Amino acid sequence: MTSDSGARPPLDKARLAGTNPELLPDLTIEVVDELPSTNAAAAQRALEGGPDGLVVVAEHQSAGRGRLDRTWETPPGTAVTFSLLLRPTTPTRAWPWLPLLTGYAVDKALTSVGLEAGVKWPNDVLIGEKKVAGILVERIETPDGP
């Protein structure tokens, strides 16, 4: 792959999975080569009792989803796709704010490293005119609650 293809270097799976627990004490990181959807995998892990703070990272997702069940497609090696399993204790009436607050946090993180980022309503993060992140929040009912 060349730099003209837009491809990134392969993910360093060992480094991601072995992330310093002192740096990110509440995260469990699971890295796989390919999944249809990281959100679907995280939802399945939730149903199986997966831990709060589980991050499912895929080198490539072949059937990603966006808002309103739209497809989210990226060529292999051009994106970092991941989903985070949270079991929030925040009252459910505040949950609709989660995608917006997440977008704001991503925007601030990118801005803090010198990138001119912004949020496009309701769930996209842009650098210039280019979409660099899409945020999808889903509520999964499990035997222990949402």
* pLDDT (0 to 100) of residue 122: 82
Name the residue ranges covered by the structural domains of the chain.
1-87, 91-146
Tell me the CA distances in angstroms from 74 to 59, 62, 78, 81, one per residue in order: 11, 8, 7, 9
pLDDT at 61 over 50: yes
Segments of the chain assigned E as strands: 28-35, 54-61, 64-65, 71-72, 81-85, 117-120, 124-127, 130-134
Under CATH, to which class is 1-87 assigned?
A: alpha beta
- 3-state DSSP percent of the chain in helix, strand and coil, to 5: 30, 25, 45
Residues 61/32, Cβ–Cβ less than 8 Å: no
pLDDT per residue as tens digits for the range 62-82: 988 877 777 877 788 888 889
pLDDT band at 2 (very low <50, low <70, confident <90, very high): very low
State if pTM tops 0.85: no
Q: Hunting for tokens 């892990």 — which residue is that?
A: 45
> What is the average pLDDT across 37-41?
93
Ranges 34-48, 52-66, 98-112, 131-145: which has the least confidence: 131-145
pLDDT per residue as tens digits for the range 6-33: 677 888 877 777 766 676 668 888 888 8
Among residues 106, 66, 68, 80, which one has the least CA distance to residue 11?
80
* pLDDT (0 to 100) of residue 3: 40
pLDDT at 128 over 80: yes
Residues 61/34, Cβ–Cβ less than 8 Å: yes
CA 109 vs. chain centroid, Å, equals: 14
